[in-house]
Structure formats: C-alpha cells, structure tokens
Structure 1
Amino acid sequence: MADLTGADATQLLPTGPGDLIEQLNSAAGQARTAPWAFGILGILVLATLPFGLLLLLPAVPLVWWLAMHDQARRNVVVFYDVADHPAAWFGALNESLMEYAASQGKWRINAHGGLATVHQRKINGNASSLLERTAVTVTFDHPKHLVTNVAVPTITSGHDALHFLPDRLLLRTGKRYSDVSYGILSVQPSTRRFIESGTVPTDGVHVDTTWQFANVNGGPDRRFKNNRMLPVMQYGNVQLASPSGLNWDLQFSRINAFDRAARTLREPPNLPQISGGQT
C-alpha cells in the first residue's frame, strides 16, 4: 500500500500572508493552568475538611479567572473584512461545501495498492486495486484555537483537518497548523468505481455487482462457503493538492457533490483584509 496522505501540518511550510500560523501554533502550545489549580484546590479542601470549605470563597473566583486567562492565551482572534467579490466567492464556497456535506458517504483515501496477481484480484472481487480509507466529517464552526467572525467550512479526518478560510486553506494536524494559498491549490475532481463492502449509501450510484471471491470470468468462486455478492458503486472523487506537499484524496457517495466547490476553488478572488491577533 502506497501512502496518499502527503505532507501534514507539521511538515508544510506556510504560504499564506501574515503571521497567523505562527500565532496559532503559539496559542495551541500554551498549557492550561486552571485544571491544575482546580485539582490542587480539591485536594486542599478534602484534606482540611470541614475548615477547607472556607477556601472555596476566595479560590473559586481565582480558578474561574485562570480558566478565562487560559482561553485568552489559547485563542487567536481574527476579524475578516470581506466585501464585494471576495464576499460573494466565500459565500459560494460555503454553500457549495454544504452540498458536499450532504453526501451520505464521505471518506478520505489514505493509501492505494495495486493487485498484481490473478489470485490477489480473485479474492478481492476482481478489483484492480485496493484503497484504504477513513470516514470524514464536515462542520461549519471556527477551528479550535481560532476565534473569527465568519463560518469556517471544515473537513476532518482523524487528527487532520482542512479549514477553508476566506484568505487561505488552513491545515491542522493535532495541535500544529500550516496553510496553503488558494492560488497554488490544485483541485482535480473525478469519478471512480468502488466495490462497497460496507453500508451502501442511498445516494450512491449502483453500476454493477461482483462476488467477494470471484473467478476470472466474474462468477463466484465455489471454494468459499460464505461468498457474498457486493455492489459496485460509482463514487465521486476530488484531489486537493499543492506543490508544497498537501494531498487530500476525498471520496464521496454522491457523484457531483464536490463539483460546485471545485469550480469555486479554482477561481479564488484577491485576498480579503484581516485584522486582529492573539488575545
């Protein structure tokens, strides 16, 4: 199996404007102090009961203040001043990614492997290759560690996420951030036949049927007792890539779910103005 995930946020050099990525990484690296203070307070109260209850009067406001301070240190505030064509473009991007979010099945392809021998193909439904994929989720909330005045379409796969901001594509891996300018983002939509062994999405296109263990001629291999028929689906795909190493290969059950988003991403406007910084 060949890895298809490309570079993550710990490996990509930022290409967007300003020092937003530096600020986000600094904010994400800040340790929380409130949980430690709360734990110490709890131990002191329990160890000195009943007099320890008197500690709650001055200590609770202090812990609350520390929690607010943690939140301020661990967030970057950015206000986007988006108008005219950039505003229309970002609005269209949000709407088009809602169409993608509505697709019943959504996955990221992480690895690809060819099936070189007849035996390998026969025990895999006569497929020509294998794909390793994980489900993705789509939300429209602002990213962790970023407070902003716009809705942010986000595609999340495990510890990785893509955040579509008005001025750049933000990439997160765990607590690390990087970005890719829309001007260098490659968007390549396509379709792909896929032998579905899991739950079949109702909005997918069923184009054929095969056996889990198949003969060369397509019939069932009688040597296997629990040999089930599997649907062959026609799914949509899009590859989001950049010269710097970004590579997200997305698969979705509704064939045209990403078409409008692909057209929008291929024609980004001039970058909007942003203001703000770490609080």
Structure 2
Amino acid sequence: MGFSFRRSSSFGPFRLNFSKSGIGASVGVKGARVTLTPAGRTYITVGAGGFSYRQNLHAGYRSSPVRPQLQPAQTAPALDEIKTADVEELRESSKSELVEDLNRRAAMFNPAIILFIAAGILGLIGMITLTSSLPAMLPALPEISSYSDSTRQANMTDEYALLVARYGEPSTVQIAQAGSTPVRNATWDSAHLTVRFVPVGCVDALRYFEAHKDDPPPIHATGRRRSAPRTETPTAPSCNVTASKASTIVAYEDAQSHTPIDAATAAGFLAGISNRSAAAPVVNVSTPVLVKGRAAKALAPPQSLEYDQPTFQKEEQRLRELEITGKLNQRIGVACLAGAVLFLIPGVLVHRKNREKRTTQLIYDLSDSAKALQEEVEGSLGHLGRSGAIWRLDSQSAITDWKRNAGAAYNVQRERISMRRSTPARVESNIVPLCLDLGKLKLFFLPDQVLYWQRGTFASIDYSDLKVASTSTRFIEESVQTSDSQQVGNTWRYVRKDGGPDRRFSNNRQLPIMLYGVVHATSAAGLNLVFHTSRPDSATSFQTNFQAFQMNRSRHTLPDPATESAPKSSTRDDSTALTFPTDIAQALSVLGLRPGCTAEEIAAAYRHMAQMYHPDKTAGLGPEIQKLADQRMKEINAAHQALKRFDQSQGENAYSNPRC
C-alpha cells in the first residue's frame, strides 16, 4: 500500500483540506458547500439524506492541446465563412482611372447579342422542321406468332392493300388452297421478302388445316359384329370470304432462304425498296392440296388480284399528305437556316466592331526601375508558384467532437487555385501579368496596381494597401498528398485521447499530418484572403520578398496605365505623401488612407478595420488565422493612436498640410 495523508481543519463555515496533492478549501454549511481543489477546480455540492448534486463552476486551468486542422468530413458541422470584401465594396474605394474605364466598357451593351439570339432561334426552328421533313416512319407490321395470335382472327383491315399502297405491287403472287382457305403468298423480289395472306376471318380455318393436314384417313365400319372405336374429330372452322376481299397477314418468310422471320426483320427488308412498282404482279396457282385423300379441284389463275379499294385509297392519301407536309417543312427549314446565316454574318461583324469599343488598350512604357519592380513582384509571386499546390480557404469552424474527426481542432473547406500569366478580359496590353486564379475571382498583378475581378466587374487594390502575413499550420490530409509537402506525423480517422486508434470503428484508417504554409492577404478596403501552400517556406519567402518589394516601390514613382487616347502612362504625384514623417505615412497606409483625408475619414477607416479583425470576429477560425488577425489588430490600434497624436500636435487639416 502506498503512503497517503489527508487531514481537514474547520473554522466555522470554512474548512481546509491537506493532502499529498496540496491544500484545498471549502466554504458553506451542511448540505451546501463550495469547494476549491488543489488542482484549481471549483465545484458546488448540494445534498441531504444520502443524495447529493455536484456541478463544476469552471473547467480549471488546464489548457487543451493544439490540434491540427482537418479537411471537412461528410458529417461536418456548419462552417464559418472567411468573408472578404465584395467587388462592389472594393470598387467604391478604387481611385484608378483604369478601373473606371474597364467597368464603363464592360457595362456597354453589345447589339450583336440580339443578332446572335435571332440566328440561334431561326437555326433551332430550321433544324426541327428539317428533322420533321424526313420520311415518316411507316406503321409497324403486325407481329405473327405461328398463328397463335388471336388478334389475327379479329383483324378486319385489308393488310394486303396497305402493303401495296406503301411499297408498291409485289413481283409475284402464288395462290394456293389450304383446305377451304385460299392462301396468297406475295413476294417482293427487291426486298427478298414473301408475305402470306389469308382472307379476313379465315385465320382459325387455316390454323385448323395446318394442325390436321397430316392426320390419317378415318376408319370406316366393316361387316364385323363389333367395329373399332371411332375417334371424334372437332368440327373444322369455316372460311367465308367477305365481299371486301380483305386479307390478313399470317406469316413472313425470307424469299432466299425460305425461313420464317419476325415482323421487325420483315419491315427492315421492305424499307430497302427504293422504287414502288405499279405493274401488276405475276400470279401463279400452286398444285392442289390433298383433302381427305382426294385432290382438290384445280384453280385457274385469276385475271387480277382483288383487294379493298377504300383501304388502298385512304392509305395512298395519307402518304401523299405526309409527302406534301415533308416538302413544306423542308422548304421552311432551309429558309430558317438561311435566315440564321443572314443574321449570324452581320452579328459577327457587329461583335468585332463592338469588341474594339469594349477593349481597353493598356500600354506600359516602363523605366528600368519600374521594370525591376515588376520583376520583384513577379519574383515574390513565383515563391508561391513553386508550391506543388495552393489552396484558398473558403470557410473554417471549430470541431467539438474531435475524436471522430481525426483529432482535428478545426474543420475547413478549401478550393485549389492556380497561378498563370493572363490578361484581364477585354484588355490588350504589351505586358502579360501574373494572375492568381481563385475561381470566382481573379487577381491580376499589374506594374502599378492589383486588378481585382469578380462577376465581370473590376476593382483596384494599391500595392501599398495590400498587407500579407505568413505562418505555418499542421493539416490532417485526407486527399492526395503533393510531392513537395512535408509530413510531420500521423493520426487516425477515429482517435483516442492518447492518440491511438479507436477500436470501436472497423473502418478506422491512418491519416498523415502535413506541415503547410499559411498566407493571409488583407487590405483596408476589406480584402481578406487565406491561402494554404504545400511548402511552408513558400509562404515565408513570399511574405519576405513581397514586403521588400513594397519598401522598394515606396521609394519610386510608378506610372499609371494608359488607355487608347494616351499612348504613354501618366505619373501620379506622391510628393505630398513623402513630406509626412515616416511613421505617419506608415500609419496612413495601415488604415488604407492617403494624404488629404479628414479626421472623420480616419475614424471611419479605423472602425471598418476594427470590425474586420476584432477577436470576436475571428473566434471561430483557426489559431494561425487568429494569430494573424491579432497582430493585424495591434497594427491598426497603433496606427490609429499615432494619427490621433499627430492630429493633436498639428491641429486642423493635419493630413492635408504639405508642411507636415
């Protein structure tokens, strides 16, 4: 047994507890006491009669460990969006003539759209009418199933007349007698198809004949006292030819192989007929079939084949109407397509002319120092480009159930972005700047400013107003790792407090913990972008080189972009800003202000910046973002205090006085 020590001393309502862990205290009366443990935890105990209730007043002073971020899982909580300024907010603060010109030209109406819409509508109508002008699909042939289809007996339409009207007269017709049923085998030689017909209402009689044609002759009674038993034969169905001479299809046959085929195959054969024959077919009569052991009376070939004329004429009339409608639709379709072309050609010409009006020619005439500065900013951006992957963080929120989220403290939603050389839309320039493509928005790094594009609208961000900070973060990666990223540990998808795998989950897998860089880009107008880089040194190098570029740029005067009317860029006069003390100019830059501002504008800028970076606004974000925001808030407060002191010392209009 280990050594233990515990002793209590009471002084009225107060009590001191001595133990190996330290000294604790409690105060209260019987049934209700407040206790402070040696570990620093405080709780209240209420109870009587053997029942008690204990409630911790706070969780003590033990801090929770710093946990890495995790890519969002399927059951992720609601994420807090990392808000950045909308393009309209940045546009209001933009003082660039280039931005005004770009937005003015972007708002110009393009009349070619009307011509393109008209051409599209006419083209669509033309395609639809041309499609409907194609030869109409003829009705499907009736399906035959070895005489077992009961609908064949009930058919009263002359199907021979229909086929003659659709495909022309057959080449030959072979007439035979099957018992009391006349059978007509019509053959279209060009389609290699034979179709068998019987008069309507005679299908059952043909079926009976086919079933009993091979039966032996009946046994007649002899002079014996006892004759052999006789088998009763069912009565044969009658075949009464109607006055309409209508015929029903009972079979399809390949004329070359003499094998039965189905209706779909027969329709395919008939579709191959290119010219409908109007000549009467050659009619033959086959050898009579034996009926009850005796030859039937031979039939003479008919002079002509009869069929239902009303059915034939009605089908011909329907086909003529389809043909007329098809030709009319064809003319309409061709006319619509021709009209679409007539609208499309002037539309292209108008669009080219309008594109020239809507295009801004941005020509830079850079000095050697300006070229060097442009190389510096592109070099700093090149450090970001050296990362195998760059992500923009769209949202982030704290995780409460970290055990089921690989031990992560924050859930983030991110989107992979890219960097390339590209000019803004409707801009022609002799310089192709680097573009940071963020999906819904783009940043173009021009020699004199950063162009911000979103939803077809431009805004301008001055380089001196763009603040960047960098740090690193531990990220639990669930997607594919990049080749240049550094793995600093492992964790489990479902993790215990000691870092081991939670054995309650069978699909628990190990996840890598990567070390990523974090870049936080902000501006006084409300820009707020957070990036992850696969290489932490890329974020640090970018911050160092970009801040060095900003310091070098502040010592030079840069030209503004020129438009069509001005072949060379004009020079902005920043001499007023150079007359301020260095700390005051820096303070104005922190708040996104320039010389000429008033005290009211300074107060408004401070309130706007404080609302963005106040700790309450970043409480739900990651620790590295909170750290950057806290550092930024300290800079904002220091700048505001410096400007207040300068205002008090210089008096009214302190920031617009060149002597400052």
SS of residue in 2 equivalent to 1:133:
strand
For this pair of structures, how many residues does the alignment match? 275
CA, structure 1 residues 62+107, in 2 after alignment: closer, same or farther (shift >3 Å)?
same
Alpha-carbon deviations, 1:39-60, whole Å to 9, x = none?
424628944736974995x766
Partner of 1:227, secondary structure, is: coil
Deviation per CA, 1:1-41: give whole Å up to 9, x if none.
Answer: 32213112122245555322222222223344334313424
Distance in 1 of aligned mates of 2:335 and 2:410: 69
Say if 2:382 is the partner of 1:95.
Answer: no
Provide, for residues 152-210 of structure 1, a one-character-per-residue CA deviation record: whole Å limited to 9, x for no partner: 11112221111111111111111122121111211101111110011111110101000
Measured in 1, the distance between the counterparts of 2:370 and 2:516 equals 31
Aligned to 1:275: 562
| Residue pair 2:517, 2:540 contacting (<8 A) in 1 also | no
Unpaired stretches in structure 2, ≥5 consecutive residues? 1-78, 127-331, 567-660
Which position in structure 2 is the counterpart of 1:65? 349
Change (3 A) 1:254 1:134: same
Matched, 1:195 2:476: yes
Q: Which residue of 2 aligns with 1:21?
A: 99
Per the alignment, residue 6 of structure 1 pairs with 84
- The answer as to whether partners of 2:91 and 2:458 remain within 8 angstroms in 1 is no
Does 199-208 or 128-137 show the bigger shift? 128-137
1:278 and 1:190 map into 2 onto residues whose CA distance is 45
Which residue is equivalent to 1:80? Answer: 364
> In structure 2, do the counterparts of structure 1 residues 51 and 142 end up closer, same or farther at CA, with 3 Å as the change threshold?
closer
Match of 2:390 among 87, 103, 106: 106
Alignment of 1:233-244 (within 5 A): 233-244=514-525
TM normalised by structure 1 equals 0.87
CA change 1:145–1:76 in 2 (3 A) is same
Instruction: Name 1:37's counterpart in structure 2.
Output: 115
Q: Distance in 2 between matches of 1:90 and 1:14?
A: 26
> In structure 2, how many angstroms separate the alpha carbons of the residues matched to 1:235 and 1:30?
44
Deviation at 1:105, TM superposition (A): 1.4
Asked whether 1:128 is paired with 2:409, we answer yes
Q: Is the 1:9–1:172 contact (alpha carbons within 8 Å) kept by the matching residues of 2?
A: yes
**1:5, 1:148 → 2: CA distance?**
32
Counterpart AA for 1:179 = S
Supply the AA of the counterpart residue of 1:261.
F
Normalized per residue, the structure richer in strand is 1
TM-score, with length taken from structure 2: 0.39
Residues 61-115 of structure 1: per-residue CA shift (max 9 Å, x gap): 5233212123223322211222222211111222332342232211001112122
Letter of the structure 1 residue corresponding to residue 386 of structure 2: A
Paired-residue identity, %: 25
Secondary structure of the residue aligned to 1:222 is coil
- The structure carrying a bigger helix percent of its residues is 2
**Does structure 2 conserve the Cα–Cα contact (< 8 Å) formed by 1:196 and 1:232?**
yes
Larger radius of gyration: 2
Q: Does 1:139 align with 2:420?
A: yes
CA RMSD of aligned residues (A): 2.6
Q: Specify the code of the residue in structure 1 equivalent to 2:468.
A: V
Structure 1: which 5+ runs fail to align? none
Give the 3-state SS of the residue equivalent to 2:562 in structure 1: strand
Instruction: Pick the aligned partner of 1:205 from 486, 493, 497.
Output: 486
Distance 1:6 1:185 in 2: 13
- Give the Cα separation in 2 of the matches to 1:85 and 1:260: 22
State the AA in 2 paired with 1:275: A
Q: Secondary structure at the match of 2:460?
A: strand
Q: Is the 8 A contact 1:77 1:278 kept in 2?
A: no
RCO higher in 1 or 2 (8 Å CA, sep ≥ 6)?
Answer: 1
Aligned counterpart, 2:582 = none
Q: Which runs of 4+ in 1 moved over 6 A?
A: none
Letter in 1 for 2:538: A
